[in-house]
Amino acid sequence: MKQIFKKYRELFLLALLVVSISGCKKDDSLNVTNKAFLTDVATFSSQSNADLFVNDIYNQIPDVNNDYQLTEQYADNSFCGAAWENGQATVRAGSIGPSNVPTGPGGMWSWEGNYSKIRKCNVFLQQAALNKAKYTDDWYKQRVAEVTFLRAYFYSLLFTAYGGVPIITVPLDNRNGTDIFTARGTIDETVAFIEADCDAAAAVLPTKAAQTGRATKGAALTLKGWVELFAASPLVNTANDAGKWSKAAATNKSVMDMGTYSLFNTSATSYADQFLSANNWNIETIFARGYATGPAKGSHREGYLGPVYVNGVQQSWGNLAPTQGLIDDYSMDNGLPITDAASGYNPQAPYAHREQRFYQSILYDGAAWQGDIIKTRIGGSNQIDLGSSSDITNTGYYARKTLDESITGQTSINLAPSFANYIIFRYAEVLLSYAEAQNEAVGPDASVYDAVNKVRARSALPAVKAGLTKDQMRVYIRRERRIELAFEDKRWFDIRRWLITTGTNGVLTTPEYGMKIEAGGSGLTYTTVKIFTNTFFERQNWMPIPQAEIDKNKKLVQNPGY
């Protein structure tokens, strides 16, 4: 009976539609003005309305704090036991392809997503120019510069994932027969476009934003310096052109010379404290995604990434599990790497006398958290999960850095109560980027030592020893960068641009290890155990263009190897 009713109902509606359309042809009532045009008119008719449009573009910055799959899991800083997540199932399995391109946390390098955001930028730049008479001159110049910076930022996410990409500067519209499909720009063209947008923005933007969270001159120059550093690196700069390194060094130095930023250093724990909401927009932060206070407007970071069992209760998902490789790169408190015979490292007391950043970044067996003692040893409440049968860490470690100890995991999952910024660029990175670029351009001069030692000094580490060669200083800088920027979604980009993902000692072609701890008659014993065999191919240092985009745009050429 229901099927018969459905059949006759559909026939009735179809007949009604035909009658309705016939009637409409007589009175022309369907020939309405395009709604998108009306929206543009309304949106850009006043400065306050146009401001809402700009605010929405800011809101398109990837919401990494509300994603539980971080690039740290793609790289060698963290491991996640869930076999279905991208870290295991796609990236570390060597199975990245055009049909399953990972888009990164918050859709960071989504092809379609970023071009949608770029279109918003282009719409604003076009419509704001057409309606310029309706705005104050200062507002117009400021917002155009901000949106120009944001467009460069979205392009940088595409560039660092895919290489050269189509450069689109106007809103595309195929309703008038225009060809909306664009070929890829070269890498040099893409970099030059981002640089030009950054320069245009930096020339107008203030050194300090009147409203927190808005783009500044320092943000534009830092973005430019990062893109230039990536372009100078072995992945792109195959001829090792020293001029590219010099350009990256000069741009990062221009940020240092502004005198606007410095390392946040108000207490012994400032290194980790800068990521807490109480210290949002501190003097080290150059650019960040902020969060509004209010119900469900913050992030779930503590619930997604924190330790699983706390005080006997499952609190979090444990999706940030530092690897043994990362642990081993933290130096001793005397500044020496654990591989140095003079360091004092004891493999049967591996967490004693380590540098400050270790204790502020890592939750290890015996570490305190929320009134509990984390025990990843066999028999402990967070006993290492070597079989990936639960959320408990597969490595024997959890992360501390970037997490707020005052927020329990369950509260985080249920209420998203953390309003801590997601810091995209901070001053310590600028110092290390300058040091890297300057070292590669001219060798370890005094300015290279100075930049690296400033970062080390905040964590009470002694200065790097004098007399290093360029190659020796490179080792120091890369280790400093890994440790200083751990859990900030930087490592994935670094290992790719340095071309250290593959090969005999490639960080994604050698096994991943954790720490198995057992109690015995004489105390605890520590044994490193293999937890995963990585597979990664050199072609995957660049993401493939999604097949759906290739199918739509025949002018696109796929990246090699796919």
What radius of gyration do the chain's Cα atoms show? 26
Cα(499)–Cα(503) distance, rounded to whole angstroms? 9
Q: Please answer whether residues 226 and 198 qualify as being in contact, where contact means their C-beta atoms are separated by less than 8 angstroms.
A: no
Q: Would you list the DSSP string of 139-197?
A: HHHHHHHHHHHHHHHHHHHHHHHHSS-----S----TTS-----PPPPHHHHHHHHHHH
The tokens of 346 are what? 């004891």
**What string of pLDDT tens digits covers the 562 residues of the chain?**
333 323 333 333 333 333 332 333 333 333 334 444 446 789 999 999 999 999 999 999 999 999 999 999 999 999 988 899 999 999 999 999 999 999 999 999 999 999 999 999 999 999 999 999 999 999 999 999 999 999 999 999 999 999 999 999 999 887 766 678 999 999 999 999 999 999 999 999 999 999 999 999 999 999 999 999 999 999 999 999 999 999 999 999 999 999 999 999 999 999 999 999 999 999 999 999 999 887 788 999 999 999 999 999 999 999 999 999 999 999 999 999 999 999 999 999 999 999 999 999 999 999 999 999 999 999 999 999 998 889 999 999 999 999 999 999 999 999 999 999 999 999 999 999 999 999 999 999 999 999 999 999 999 999 999 999 999 999 999 999 999 999 999 999 999 999 999 999 999 999 999 999 999 888 999 999 999 999 999 999 999 999 999 999 999 999 999 9
Cα(557)–Cα(298) distance, rounded to whole angstroms? 40
Which DSSP state fits 320? -
Helix (H, G, I), strand (E, B) or coil at 444: coil
Identify the pLDDT of residue 94: 97
- Domains of the chain, with CATH numbers? 216-290+421-488 (1.25.40.900)
What residue type is 31 in one-letter code? N
> Residue 71: CB partners within 8 Å, gap ≥ 6?
104, 105, 108, 489, 491, 492, 493
Cα(140)–Cα(130) distance, rounded to whole angstroms? 11
The tokens of 337 are what? 């790497």
> Residue 307: CB partners within 8 Å, gap ≥ 6?
315, 316, 318, 363, 369, 374, 382, 393, 398, 409
Q: How many residues does the chain have?
A: 562
Identify the pLDDT of residue 177: 61
Identify the pLDDT of residue 237: 98
The tokens of 455 are what? 């970062």
Which DSSP state fits 559? P
Identify the pLDDT of residue 17: 31
